[in-house]
Structure 1
Amino acid sequence: MPPSDPRLRAAARRARRALSVLNLPGGRPARAVPAPTGQRLVPEPVFVISSVRSGSTLLRVLLNSHPRIRAPHEMHLRTLHVEQTKPYTEKAMSQLGLDEKELEHLLWDRVLHRELEHSGKDLIVDKTPGNALVWERLHEAWPDAKFLFLLRHPASMVSSLINGRPDRDPAQTIAEVKSYVDAVEDARTHLPGLTVRYEDLTGDAEAKTREICTFLGVEWDARMLNYGKQDHGPFKAYIGDWSDNIKSGSVQQARALPAAEEVPDDLRDIAHTWGYAC
């Protein structure tokens, strides 16, 4: 019988990974995924894998309204680096079995742990869109992490970016969105996880949050639907959405899907892959 303590189950999973090859779905050849070389204070964080302007801030505040889930503003862990300023520092760390990458993993883990402890909750979610660009590294750092893949019509992401900043160059905006959505699809193909569509989340928030809670192993809580009554910190640029919609405190219906002729050519394939008419 498997151990009932979640920490023991996580330790058992890590031990199995250290002795075998992890088979990932989606056609990629099986490969070994190294277990962390240092103990994780947060062994099973949750990462939202999404593009910019995909509704991740809405998902964040809905999750953060749950009494057990802490979903702070964007953490930008991938931009948080460790610098070993002396040659002997690297030698000293290597004797401890720590290279620069693992030192950064330990730092990232400590940041998550500090935030989780401060919140008094027991499950943390990081929704930074940049996570999509480093999903392999996150999986390496936390083999037991859970992943939520948040999809939105790619052309709607482009429109949202341009509406927020009309001076944006359309071609560059399309290229930016494409870089994110391609990374999201790569992660979704090769990692286990739950896919959530933004249009479905705004259309029936209760049904989708119930599905997410089941995936995360927590009971659904009706307070998730009233995120405006909770304190989620400031809504500011560079750490999440700051639009009037998110500040309203209630779920706003997604805008109508773009017509087929409004979908940029470079985004047609991924839109089709994600099940959108184009």
Structure 2
Amino acid sequence: MLSSVRSGSTLLRMLLNSHSQIRAPHEMHLRTVHVQLSRDFTAAAMQELQLDKEELEHVLWDRVLHLELTHSGKDLIVDKTPPNTLIWPRLQRCWPQARYIVLLRHPAAVITSLTNRRTDPDHEAIRAEVLGYCEKLEEARRNLDAHVITYEELTAEPERVTRGVCAYLGVPWEPGMLDYGGKDHGTLRPQLGDWSSTIRSGRVQPGRTAESGVELPSRLRELAQAWGYPF
């Protein structure tokens, strides 16, 4: 799953994790799981196997997801870590057969959500952070054969949107997905996904729309319009 922060990825992952065949765990942060080749001969040995540091990390990432999927007893695994969006070309190299769900949200709403979440918000830094995510999302949207949905559609019509996601993933839709509060989704805490009272309610809440007074840089306005958001 590729998304910006504060775009509803935790909600979508809980809906998917409520499916009998889909495992969607907390944020895995695989891009910050690294391999250290501590001696020169270690690198030489791996080079003989045509494995550099990046490829070794891919092997480790794949193994982590495989272990989590095996432990769950399910058939498919979905990783919802938003910063994965920033390295989507590397994910494509690691898993060339992977399928991608691109989750969009109005950039102004993302800025508002980030601003409200932080105690002493740096408004310029927040706009830059959101722009960085949105640029990568647009790259992924244009270059991957992805299934694109929006936060606004997900919260307004969860059954229709999750039916579409299930069809894309090749599994039948299950009504129990919408009752995600009745399932075990693991620990909810900072750095692993959303932990707010809204997500803990166990049901899809109405989406918060973008506030009209949010200042957007011209490039973010262009991207929002390309994604079909009105101004």
TM range (shorter): over 0.9
Equivalent residue number for residue 125 of structure 1 = 78
Equivalent residue number for residue 215 of structure 1 = 168
Provide the C-alpha distance between the structure 1 equivalents of 2:92 and 2:192, rounded to a whole number of angstroms: 22
| Deviation digits for residues 110-139 of structure 1 (CA, Å, limit 9, x no counterpart) | 000000000000100001011111000000
Equivalent residue number for residue 216 of structure 2 = 264
Equivalent residue number for residue 110 of structure 1 = 63
Equivalent residue number for residue 189 of structure 2 = 236
Provide the C-alpha distance between the structure 2 equivalents of 1:212 and 1:163, rounded to a whole number of angstroms: 30
RMSD of Structure 2 on Structure 1 (CA): 1.0
Deviation, structure 1 residue 168: 1.0
Deviation, structure 1 residue 262: 2.8
Equivalent residue number for residue 69 of structure 1 = 22
Q: Which has the higher contact order (CA 8 A, sep 6+)?
A: 2
What amino acid does structure 2 have at the position aligned with 1:246?
A: I
Q: What TM-score comes out, normalization by structure 2 length?
A: 0.97
Provide the C-alpha distance between the structure 1 equivalents of 2:198 and 2:72, rounded to a whole number of angstroms: 25
Provide the C-alpha distance between the structure 2 equivalents of 1:132 and 1:152, rounded to a whole number of angstroms: 14
Provide the C-alpha distance between the structure 1 equivalents of 2:209 and 2:81, rounded to a whole number of angstroms: 25
Equivalent residue number for residue 198 of structure 1 = 151
Q: Which runs of 5+ in 1 are unaligned?
A: 1-47
Pair 1:154-2:107 in alignment: yes
| Deviation digits for residues 196-249 of structure 1 (CA, Å, limit 9, x no counterpart) | 110000001001000000000000011100000000011111110111110111
Q: Select the structure of larger CA radius of gyration.
A: 1
Deviation, structure 1 residue 263: 4.2
Deviation, structure 1 residue 265: 2.6
Equivalent of residue 94 in structure 1, options 25, 29, 47: 47
Detail structure 1 runs of 4+ shifted over 4 Å in the superposition: none
Q: Percent of aligned pairs with the same residue?
A: 53
Equivalent residue number for residue 125 of structure 2 = 172
Within 5 A, what are the aligned runs for 1:137-152? 137-152=90-105
Q: What TM-score comes out, normalization by structure 1 length?
A: 0.81
Equivalent residue number for residue 36 of structure 2 = 83
Quick check: 224-233 or 92-101, which moved more?
92-101
Question: Contact 2:17/2:23 (CA < 8 Å) preserved in 1?
Answer: yes
Deviation, structure 1 residue 49: 0.8
Provide the C-alpha distance between the structure 1 equivalents of 2:211 and 2:150, rounded to a whole number of angstroms: 15
Aligned with 2:100: secondary structure?
Answer: strand
Equivalent residue number for residue 49 of structure 1 = 2
Deviation, structure 1 residue 165: 1.5
What amino acid does structure 2 have at the position aligned with 1:126?
A: D
Provide the C-alpha distance between the structure 1 equivalents of 2:210 and 2:228, rounded to a whole number of angstroms: 12
Provide the C-alpha distance between the structure 1 equivalents of 2:184 and 2:80, rounded to a whole number of angstroms: 17
